[in-house]
Amino acid sequence: MDDEHATGERGDDVRLLGIRLSTDFRRIACHALRSRRIWVAAVLTALVLTLPALWVGWQADDHVHRLYFLGLQEVEMPMSGSNLFDFLRGDAETMQALVDLGVMPWWSLPELRISFWRPITSLTQLADYTFWPNSAMAMHAHSLLWFALVVALAMFVYRRFMGATWVAGAAGMLFAVDDAHGIPAGWLDNRNALVATAFCLLTLLAHDRWRRDDWQPGAVLAPIFLALSLLSAEFGVATLAYLFSYALFIERGRWQARAGSMLAHAAVASIWLGMYRSRGHGTYGSGFYANPMSEPLHYLSAAAERLPVLLFDVFSLPVSAPYIFMPAKVQTALALVGVLVFVLILLALRPMLKQNAVARFWLLGSVLCLAPVAATVPSSRLLLLSGFGVTCPHLCIHTQS
């Protein structure tokens, strides 16, 4: 973890995103990026870029939640104040009422189920409607505070894993300006991704302090933060991707000890999954969602095309936004191009990956993060945690002349 590639201090020739930096600019930039307060600059930059979200108002599912809290729903749905994302439970009577109202099209499957278990995020929205029920601006300000927390925590994780180096600072700044964060920061209903990501990063910080510094509270706090991430959004499953990658590349010692470090996390995830299914949550019969538990073949078929598109998006160009509007043949072609781009990037990163375990940790974690989000239609809003890993040394290339 202290090798040349992890610290970014090797040699006199430094490149950032392939651009050679002049000696004077490099000295100033590296000093700023190594500063302990670089996280402040990252947070302020992220907030300035997302500030227009304050005037966005309510969108899409936000109106469903608003009608619920205001008591204006014409059709009774299974959602509650402790779980606002319990939309449909496969009840034919409710579906017919929604069709009659014009909310759902006439061809909707009566058994359609779209039910998510997100009590932690629901509590944040309950707070919105308790303290400022008629102010969309205040609700968006609340979401931006979560976004600021995510950016700050990301910077702390980078510095934790890569030291007080310019590479860690640059990774944090790049994460702060990633365009993929626009929707989670600007859509109230997508706050769940921000909340889940915040607890994911806290999980990594606590777990790493436990394993590397023998900080015993981390053995308890890390599984608790994982549970909070899972209860914020299904998106939190991606936390396990980084924990697995950590055990594989960062953890030291025998394989038995590495596996043992994952037992508490595996137990938390198993309990969460058991409760999730026993409560009847999940999806069925939706063209947007492919449930890997109840529809494994549907999920595998969908993931085969979606994963390459997500890889293309997170490693190269933001192609996922128009994906849903593309003809099937174009979607297939885009998936093939995505595979090719990913292979070329792996070849380019091969020297770094061979020498640097931290780089392997980031890369594997970011790729595995895409498996759970492939359950729905590709979108940049799904790349918050995957982009967190990709932003690291892979985008800050440094060489020696």
Give the pLDDT of residue 224.
97
Give mean pLDDT, residues 97-124.
89
pLDDT class of 102 with cuts at 50, 70, 90: confident
CA distances from 258 to 145, 249, 278, 358 (A): 35, 10, 31, 16
Give the pLDDT of residue 333.
85
pLDDT class of 25 with cuts at 50, 70, 90: low
If you average pLDDT over each of 6-10, 22-26, 93-97, 124-128, which comes out highest?
A: 124-128
Give mean pLDDT, residues 73-89.
83
Give the pLDDT of residue 227.
97
DSSP at 20: E
**C-beta of residue 384 within 8 angstroms of C-beta of residue 185:** no
**C-beta of residue 362 within 8 angstroms of C-beta of residue 214:** no
Closest CA to 30 of 44, 45, 18, 16: 16
pLDDT greater at residue 341 or residue 207: 207
What are the percentages of helix, strand and coil residues in the chain, rounded to 5?
65, 5, 30
∠ CA 43-3-204, nearest 5°, is 45
pLDDT class of 244 with cuts at 50, 70, 90: very high
| Three-class secondary structure assignment of 51-108 | HHHHHCCCCCHHHHHHHHHHCCCCCCCCCECCECCEEEECCHHHHHHHHHHCCCCCCC
Q: Is the pLDDT of residue 17 over 90?
A: no
Give the pLDDT of residue 217.
95
pLDDT greater at residue 289 or residue 12: 289
As a whole-number percent, the residues of the chain with pLDDT over 90 amount to 44
pTM value is 0.87
Dist. CA 93–CA 76, nearest whole Å: 10
Closest CA to 78 of 97, 60, 51: 97
Give mean pLDDT, residues 47-54.
95
As a whole-number percent, the residues of the chain with pLDDT over 70 amount to 91
Give the pLDDT of residue 157.
94
Give the pLDDT of residue 6.
43
Dist. CA 270–CA 121, nearest whole Å: 21
Give the pLDDT of residue 3.
44
Q: What is the dihedral of CA 363, 365, 366, 372, to 10 degrees?
A: 150
Instruction: Round the average pLDDT of the chain to a whole number and report it.
Output: 86
Dist. CA 235–CA 19, nearest whole Å: 35
Give the pLDDT confidence of 115-125 residue by residue, as tens digits. Answer: 999 999 999 99
Q: Is the pLDDT of residue 47 over 50?
A: yes
Give the pLDDT of residue 192.
95
Bridge partners for 115 per DSSP:
86, 282
Tokens 């205001």, located at residue: 70
Give the pLDDT of residue 239.
96
pLDDT class of 167 with cuts at 50, 70, 90: confident
> What do you get for the CA distance between the two ends of the chain, in Å?
23
Q: Is the pLDDT of residue 16 over 80?
A: no
Dist. CA 198–CA 196, nearest whole Å: 6
- Read off φ and ψ for residue 387, nearest 5 degrees: -65, -30
Query: Which string of DSSP letters, residue by residue, matches 260-302?
Result: HTTHHHHHHHHHHHHHHHHTT-EEES-SSB--TTT-HHHHHHH
- Residue 12 in 3-state DSSP? coil
Give the pLDDT of residue 219.
95
Give the pLDDT confidence of 322-368 residue by residue, as tens digits. Answer: 887 888 888 888 888 888 888 888 888 888 888 888 888 999 999 99
